[in-house]
Amino acid sequence: MMGQRLVSSLLSRCLYASHRILNPLTRQERKLGLARRISQRFSTLTAIEDPVTPPVEVKYTKLLINGQFVDAASGKTFPTLDPRTGEVIAHVAEGDSVDIDCAVKVARKAFDEGPWPKMTAYERSRILFKFADLIDEHNDELAALESWDNGKPFEQSAKEEVPLLSRTIRYYAGWADKIHGLIVPGDGAHHVQVLREPIGVAGQIIPWNFPLVMFAWKVGPALACGNTVVLKPAEQTPLTALYAAALLHEAGLPDGVLNVVSGFGPTAGSALAGHMEVDKIAFTGSTGAGKIIQELAAKSNLKSVTLELGGKSPFIVMDDANVDQAVELAHSALFHNQGQCCCAGSRTFVHERVYDEFVEKAKARALKRVVGDPFKQGVEQGPQIDEEQFSKILEYITSGIDSGATLVAGGGRAGNKGFYIQPTVFSDVKDEMTIAQEEIFGPVQTILKFKNLNEVIQRANASPYGLAAGVFTNNLNNANTLMRALRVGTVWINCYNLLDAAIPFGGYKMSGIGREKGMDSLNSYLQVKAVITPLENHAWL
């Protein structure tokens, strides 16, 4: 029973890596009290006004199975909420294991009988390219829906994320007809071919922080390789995946190739991860939930698993850095998307020689950050995704204060409704503090001081995570040393959050298994088959 509750708690929270189980009521009370206390110390940046009406209507709320929008077998629905207000946007069909079974069955049929994997790769690519064009045509609708459901600034959705969706789809569309196996030399007179075949039915579980971008990272390579998919979006953000999937069908995707089952982790998610007919499961979310997914795969059919999990990524500012630029980059590395990024630069290590100046400027920058309705122009930061995350972040802020870190900016709720949090900065943070160890997933920057290169390498690596790192220096040798020494999947040198379609992304250590994007992601969706046959009277070997 305890195990089951843990499964439930972790899966339902997706990206949230909680190590504590708290009484929600108590937490709520504590949070509100704390918020009031802190708000008095640091003024709110922008008044949170009446919410702007999003310029989009919700068209799709059902499950998408076999090319049809259908109700859940149980008839159940769940509300998806507007993070600006906590009010209901729409009631969405809630898939559970029955619906997952149904979706897997049609995906299986679509894979085993075709036409999708039996088409030429060029034909598949043409459909995916058409999909990308449709995404561009519906850019603003998708962006509005994304921001409404998620709370992220509309401009960010419209100018960065939806274009990144179509860009990533085009990238993989282009790979479809370039998937090559090797002809390898045998030791004797044998002809050896290596076929790279689609793996089959892929189960994909995506988080709420970048719903459309995550859709692209998962669905793009899976479909380009000729697989069929059952996708479970996060229950916090089910809307855009349904919309995008509808466009994909409009582009000519055959029925059953992509099925979207909204629902919760413990029911729909675990049914998918534990399904005997699913050949591959790809998950992005919390480390805790990732462990459960891998366990479910192990206990069922040993399906292959890709996990892209949490992080506590260091952002290292060396003493030769231009402090103004470093502050700006470190600021966006952490605060982008309300701090809700798995690769957020959440440990800002600053060399002691520039530390004081850095802290002052980081504080000034945080105080300038424009928080408000994501549909208002110029807003940099919207609300956190939901009340649970909101409360958890405020908990962490309290923990920071209690453990002796210096609160230099923010520290509380912004406004008095919805889930807005002030951009918060802590200085004098020590490695052993909870805020320096755990993934906060919110707008809380923690600044740590270091003396030399070896020290910062050791401290940066002293984390169970290994997703990404930022390095800020113009010294070539330091950059090269750090690049190799950091045990992380991505190192950004004098930049951050560059997530091009062609760049592989994923984690060392407990940040996950496998890579997404780039060529590497194709490997996750392909089986490798070696074919060997003897050669008679060969002309050469």
Partner 1 sequence: MAENGNGSVKEGFEMPEIKYTKLFINGEFVDAASGKEFETRDPRTGDVIANIAEADKVDVDLAVKAAREAFDHGPWPRMSGYERGRILHKYADLIEQHIEELAALDGIDAGKLFAFGKAVDIPGAIRMLRYYASAADKIHGETLKLNGAYQGYTLKEPIGVVGVIIPWNFPSMMFFLKVSPALAAGCTVVVKPAEQTPLSALFYAKLAKEAGIPDGALNVVNGFGPTAGAALTSHMDVDNISFTGSPEIGSVIMQSAATSNLKTVSLELGGKSPMIIFDDANLDMAVGLASAAVFFNKGEICVAGSRVYVQEGIYDEFVKKVIEVAKGWVVGDPFDPKVNMGPQVDKVQYERVLKYIEYGKRDGATLLTGGKPCGEKGYYIEPTIFADVKEDMKIAQDEIFGPVMSLIKFKTIEEAIERANCTKYGLAAGILTNDINIANRVSRSVRAGTVWINCYFVFDADAPFGGFKMSGFGRDQGMNAIEKYLQVKSVITPIYNSPWL
The residues that are catalytic are: 308
Closest CA to 300 of 282, 283, 284, 277: 277
Interface region with partner 1, contact rule CB under 8 A, candidates 163-171, 287-295, 354-362, 411-419: 163-171
CB burial of residue 451 (10 Å; 0-12, 13-18, 19+)? exposed
Pairing of strands 468-472, 490-493: parallel
Which residue in the set 30, 109, 191, 509 belongs to the binding site for partner 1 (CB under 8 A)?
Answer: 191
Determine if 475 is a binding residue for partner 1 (CB under 8 A): no
Sketch the per residue contact string, 377 through 396, with partner 1: x for CB under 8 A, - otherwise: --------------------
Residue 535 CB, nearest distance to partner 1 (Å)? 5
Determine if 484 is a binding residue for partner 1 (CB under 8 A): yes
Say how far apart CA 12 and CA 34 lie, in whole Å. 26
Closest CA to 317 of 307, 305, 327: 327
Say how far apart CA 304 and CA 320 lie, in whole Å. 45
Q: Which residues contact 209 (CB under 8 A, 6 or more apart)?
A: 15, 150, 337, 340, 341, 342, 385, 441
Distance from CA of residue 480 to its chain's centroid? 28
Hey, CA dihedral for 268, 270, 272, 275, is it positive or negative? negative
DSSP 180-235: -PPEEE-SSSEEEEEEEEE-SEEEEE--SSSHHHHHHHHHHHHHHTT-EEEEE--T
Residue 354 CB, nearest distance to partner 1 (Å)? 22
Structure tokens at 16: 């949230």
Determine if 485 is a binding residue for partner 1 (CB under 8 A): yes
Q: Return the number of the residue (407 or 522) whose C-beta is nearest partner 1.
A: 522
Residues in the chain: 541
Q: Return the number of the residue (383 or 506) whose C-beta is nearest partner 1.
A: 506
* Total residues at interface with partner 1 (CB under 8 A): 33
For residue 461, give the 3-state DSSP assignment: helix
Determine if 533 is a binding residue for partner 1 (CB under 8 A): yes
Closest CA to 176 of 111, 222, 213, 215: 222
Sketch the per residue contact string, 440 through 469, with partner 1: x for CB under 8 A, - otherwise: -------------xx---------------
Determine if 399 is a binding residue for partner 1 (CB under 8 A): no
Say how far apart CA 334 and CA 373 lie, in whole Å. 20
Q: Return the number of the residue (36 or 122) whose C-beta is nearest partner 1.
A: 122
Q: Return the number of the residue (30 or 190) whose C-beta is nearest partner 1.
A: 190
Residue 469 CB, nearest distance to partner 1 (Å)? 14
Asked if 312 and 437 count as a contact pair (C-beta separation under 8 A), the reply is yes
Pairing of strands 201-205, 228-232: parallel
Q: Return the number of the residue (109 or 191) whose C-beta is nearest partner 1.
A: 191
Residue 477 CB, nearest distance to partner 1 (Å)? 5
Determine if 302 is a binding residue for partner 1 (CB under 8 A): no
Determine if 125 is a binding residue for partner 1 (CB under 8 A): yes
Q: Return the number of the residue (102 or 164) whose C-beta is nearest partner 1.
A: 164
Determine if 422 is a binding residue for partner 1 (CB under 8 A): no
For residue 315, give the 3-state DSSP assignment: strand
Residue 252 CB, nearest distance to partner 1 (Å)? 16
Determine if 185 is a binding residue for partner 1 (CB under 8 A): no
Residue 457 CB, nearest distance to partner 1 (Å)? 8
Which residue in the set 37, 41, 178, 529 belongs to the binding site for partner 1 (CB under 8 A)?
Answer: 178
Say how far apart CA 489 and CA 224 lie, in whole Å. 24
Sketch the per residue contact string, 493 through 522, with partner 1: x for CB under 8 A, - otherwise: --------xx----------------x---
Residue 92 CB, nearest distance to partner 1 (Å)? 34
Which residue in the set 86, 114, 174, 464 belongs to the binding site for partner 1 (CB under 8 A)?
Answer: 174
Determine if 535 is a binding residue for partner 1 (CB under 8 A): yes
Residue 484 CB, nearest distance to partner 1 (Å)? 5
Pairing of strands 183-185, 87-93: unpaired
Q: What residue ranges bind partner 1 (CB under 8 A)?
A: 122, 125, 129, 167, 170-171, 173-175, 177-178, 180, 191, 453-454, 476-477, 480-481, 483-485, 501-502, 519, 533-540
